[in-house]
Structure 1
Amino acid sequence: MYRQTKDPAAQDPGWVDDVLFAGRPTDVCLRLPEPVDRATLHRLVTEAQARLVAAGLRPGGAAALRLPPSLSYVVNLLATWRSGGQAVLLDHRLTDHEVDRALRRLTPQVVVAPVRTGGGALKVFVDVTERVTGYADRPAVSGHAVIQLSSGSTGPSKVIGRTAADLVAEVERYTRIDGVALPGERIILLPSMVHVLGLVGGLLYGLHARVELVPPERLGGDAVLAAIAAQDTPATVLGVPFHIGLLASTRPDRPLPQFTRMTTGGELVPPAVVQAFTDRHGVPLGNMYGMTEVGVIGTDLHGSHRPAIAPAPGIEVRESDGELLISCPASPYVGLSDPDRWADGWLRTRDAGTVDPVTGLVTVRGRLDSQVSVGGLKVDLTEVEATLTGLPGVAAAVVTYDDGITAYVQPDGPLSGDALDRLLAERLAGYKRPRTLHLVAQLPRTTTGKLVRSLDVLRTAAP
């Protein structure tokens, strides 16, 4: 029988009220589309706490949340923290096999999963009836407030933990970044709150800064524009590059003076996509660079330094042999001590980049493994990929090195390999051009919308 003790894994629940429930009880914090004020959210969280405790959650234990984006997810997440527990975030799109493997490793005391969902496949926030069940009668595996699985775009997911102090510090960083949504404004929230951008940059920052969080009714350009138009207050769209494409191809049917900017995290955005978005909507496209391990690292929310970014307040970035390193006092990995990823207070990003010694601006060049040698000549696969994605008829592309430069291309309409070859021959030297081209109807993506770069997955997707 698990006994409550002063276990180091126990979380002080006071930070939740201090950081996230500030403001007037009547302030609206969520629109789903019905408004949810702070008093209602507080009541729902208190009721969820009672259910979690009744199912076996104790201070120092963990609750695994396998919930789609929903009010239920928000409520159970906050209830877990207010109960002094660790929240293990499992993307609802994971398979049963992936979930079972994670549960065996992380041994939460309770699991919260949906019994029934409603709203349709493209609905951003769904209606959920959840069930809380007991799982393991033991403390959490670490003293972190939240456990997340990395997106796994280049290989198996890593188990990453962040403390309450980490989360509070990141929320504070957001308040000091020029260009974020301000109190009384809105964030049109598109990324999943299971992952770091939606979790901290959306949910936690919004609750702390008294910014309304507004998920659109559905994941489509028209629905996003409708969410912007629904209120008169300024609105910032928060998303990933996939969402930029949705908006760049959607023409508003009326002026939207409320549309302040869009901020994107995740992959580098090709210049052609940036231009298409700004031409269409006439608002800044801000860029954000971060990692699950440490959250936001740098930003350029006004789009004035592209492709460079300014380090976020309190974050130190340095360059070592062409790789970007981030200050990180403790290893963020659970059950893993890998000096190749973290050592002596520095986290290796595995991203190539430079730090300007005068301005401090950081330029992310892409993956560190994108530099390859072809016939003794250095080729940056990021350049090849950017060239491909800028071609007419190309929706997305992934370029790898597999016994030669190999490109996996997702067409946007009719496209042939011969046509691609001709276009590339006009733009790239012969040694830079892909030796093999695969046209793929739909390139595989992670649950966060990033393109998967695992060779095994790409080979399987190719015809």
Structure 2
Amino acid sequence: MAENALGTDPEWVDELLLGGDPGDVCLRLPDPVDRATLRRLVADARTRLAGAGLRRGGAVALRLPPSLAYVVHLLATWRSGGQAILLDHRLTDHEVDRALERLTPQVVVAPVRTGGGGLRIFHDVTAGVQAYSDRPAGTGHAVIQLSSGSTGPSKVIGRTGADLAAEVLRYTHIDGVALPGERIILLPSMVHVLGLVGGLLYGLHARVELVPPQRLSGDAILAAVAERDTPATVLGVPFHIGLLASTTPTGPLPQLKRMTTGGELVPAAVARAFTDRYGVPLGNMYGMTEVGVIGTDLYGRHRPAIAPAPGIEVRESSTGELWVSCPTNPYVGLADPTRWADGWLHTRDAGAVDPDTGLVTIKGRFDSQVSVGGMKVDLTEVESTLTGLPGVASAVVVWDDGITAYVQPDGPLTTDALDELLAQRLAGYKRPRNLRLLDQLPRTTTGKLVRSATALRAAGS
């Protein structure tokens, strides 16, 4: 594939993702979408994007829920030689506006109508395509993904078309992934790396049908598995394991091949409950937005350890932090050697690498990122938002059986008023589960805020 400013020629979309028999079904939403239909929809979307001002080397911001419209406009952006900026549809207008001001796409695609209820996984969406700016993309990446703290430079992550293509091909060499002719019951959002590459892009490349359930419930997931006779892999995060572990099948499910989970570590009790109920492997996958899949254990043989994915090297630093091979800096506008240096991504995860087997065990986070329902949240972003609100003198945000914020007011303030202000600025999954107002936040003898959850709980009581 020839190189261009976005890492590969846009023909890579045809070569890697949209080729194959025109009559092959690639998506069931629930109506089947074959490759000929998908190619036609992508061509139509390219025309709309061009009419709104997209030019090769420009960027398109996609603010769409998981939907056929999302898939079509994502592929159309890449096929046009454009950069796709992926904005989670659950972000507030405030968060989206800040991201758009920073990244200045040429075109914004957002819903003008969304059907279905809040428990839908895939939505019936009519997309609106609007011009935003006349600037070219700020970087030569094919995709921009925003981790927590998305408007700050340290949280903007870029990957080229070559990066995405390499990861898709990496999946084809992992033992235990869904095979051609099989199905992926897709649960995670395609805005984020597991659903995007491990679900959508790999499925299109490997001729694996993508089947999102009708609703986000255990019964709906099992119904999607049982709907057809072909083998099915459920792809999700630990939250989805809990759903299935608490759901009783109405009959045998010979189609269920395995469940593969990404995101945070799965508690041993939850893993046992799932495997006892369904009798199939519960696979584990570890990855990051910056590099995609890092390691897997799709047969559940080494839990909680994983084996590095083909072509990926994992190193344990002298401080016990995991470093992952990453040839180029994935962060946009950031030159921070504590995050990436000399071809190594510093994961901020604590872990160990077995010198004999090469298996990697993840022990937890070094920094402030936590996972809420499979969504990564940076507690520093929540804290920064809190301290920017009127009536707040200072704040500390910790993980204490959920996101918990301890706030020292500067004048009259109630938790209800605080929660209302946060709802305007942060997506629901980022907002504190618990808000505690303290006359004085505890500090060290040198005046620094105490960040121990135990000490903060004691102060709050």
Separation in 2, partners of 1:409, 1:173: 36
**One-letter amino acid matched to 2:245:** A
Kindly state the Cα deviation for residue 22 of structure 1 after the two structures are TM-superposed.
2.2
CA distances 1:277-332 after superposition (whole Å, capped 9, x unpaired):
11111111000000000000000000001111000000010000211000111110
Q: Decide whether the 8 Å contact of 2:6 with 2:161 is kept in 1.
A: no
Q: Decide whether the 8 Å contact of 1:11 with 1:59 is kept in 2.
A: no
Specify whether residues 116 and 407 from structure 1 end up closer, same or farther in structure 2 by C-alpha distance, changes over 3 A only: closer
Q: Decide whether the 8 Å contact of 1:11 with 1:85 is kept in 2.
A: no
Number of the residue aligned with 2:109? 112
Number of the residue aligned with 1:273? 270
Number of the residue aligned with 1:408? 400
Equivalence map 1:48-63=2 (5 Å): 48-63=45-60
Kindly state the Cα deviation for residue 408 of structure 1 after the two structures are TM-superposed.
2.8
Separation in 1, partners of 2:436, 2:64: 28
Number of the residue aligned with 2:332? 334
State which of 94, 105, 124 in structure 1 corresponds to 2:121: 124
Specify whether residues 284 and 9 from structure 1 end up closer, same or farther in structure 2 by C-alpha distance, changes over 3 A only: closer
Identical residues among aligned pairs (%): 76
Specify whether residues 139 and 349 from structure 1 end up closer, same or farther in structure 2 by C-alpha distance, changes over 3 A only: same
Separation in 1, partners of 2:5, 2:310: 29
Number of the residue aligned with 2:29? 32
Q: Decide whether the 8 Å contact of 1:11 with 1:60 is kept in 2.
A: no
State which of 32, 38, 41 in structure 2 corresponds to 1:41: 38
Kindly state the Cα deviation for residue 409 of structure 1 after the two structures are TM-superposed.
3.2
CA distances 1:22-69 after superposition (whole Å, capped 9, x unpaired):
221100000001000000000000000000001100000000000001
Number of the residue aligned with 1:460? 435
State which of 296, 314, 318 in structure 2 corresponds to 1:317: 314
Equivalence map 1:219-238=2 (5 Å): 219-238=216-235
TM-score by length of 2: 0.80
Separation in 2, partners of 1:211, 1:218: 21
Separation in 2, partners of 1:156, 1:333: 7
**One-letter amino acid matched to 2:401:** V
Number of the residue aligned with 2:343? 345
Specify whether residues 63 and 10 from structure 1 end up closer, same or farther in structure 2 by C-alpha distance, changes over 3 A only: farther
Taking only aligned residues, the RMSD between alpha carbons, in angstroms, comes to 2.8
- Paired residues, number: 390
Number of the residue aligned with 1:363? 361
Separation in 2, partners of 1:54, 1:369: 44
Specify whether residues 353 and 76 from structure 1 end up closer, same or farther in structure 2 by C-alpha distance, changes over 3 A only: same
Q: Decide whether the 8 Å contact of 1:58 with 1:85 is kept in 2.
A: yes
**One-letter amino acid matched to 1:460:** L
Kindly state the Cα deviation for residue 20 of structure 1 after the two structures are TM-superposed.
0.1
Specify whether residues 127 and 277 from structure 1 end up closer, same or farther in structure 2 by C-alpha distance, changes over 3 A only: same
2:188 is the alignment partner of 1:188: no
Secondary structure (helix, strand or coil) at the match of 1:460 reads strand
**One-letter amino acid matched to 1:146:** V
Separation in 2, partners of 1:407, 1:72: 36
**One-letter amino acid matched to 2:365:** R
- What stretches of structure 2 of length at least 5 have no aligned partner? 372-378, 381-395, 403-421, 438-459
Q: Decide whether the 8 Å contact of 1:7 with 1:60 is kept in 2.
A: no
**One-letter amino acid matched to 1:364:** I
Separation in 2, partners of 1:263, 1:7: 35
Specify whether residues 217 and 156 from structure 1 end up closer, same or farther in structure 2 by C-alpha distance, changes over 3 A only: farther
Specify whether residues 36 and 102 from structure 1 end up closer, same or farther in structure 2 by C-alpha distance, changes over 3 A only: same
Q: Decide whether the 8 Å contact of 1:266 with 1:450 is kept in 2.
A: no
Q: Decide whether the 8 Å contact of 1:28 with 1:38 is kept in 2.
A: yes
Separation in 1, partners of 2:74, 2:276: 39
Kindly state the Cα deviation for residue 8 of structure 1 after the two structures are TM-superposed.
3.1
Separation in 2, partners of 1:311, 1:147: 25
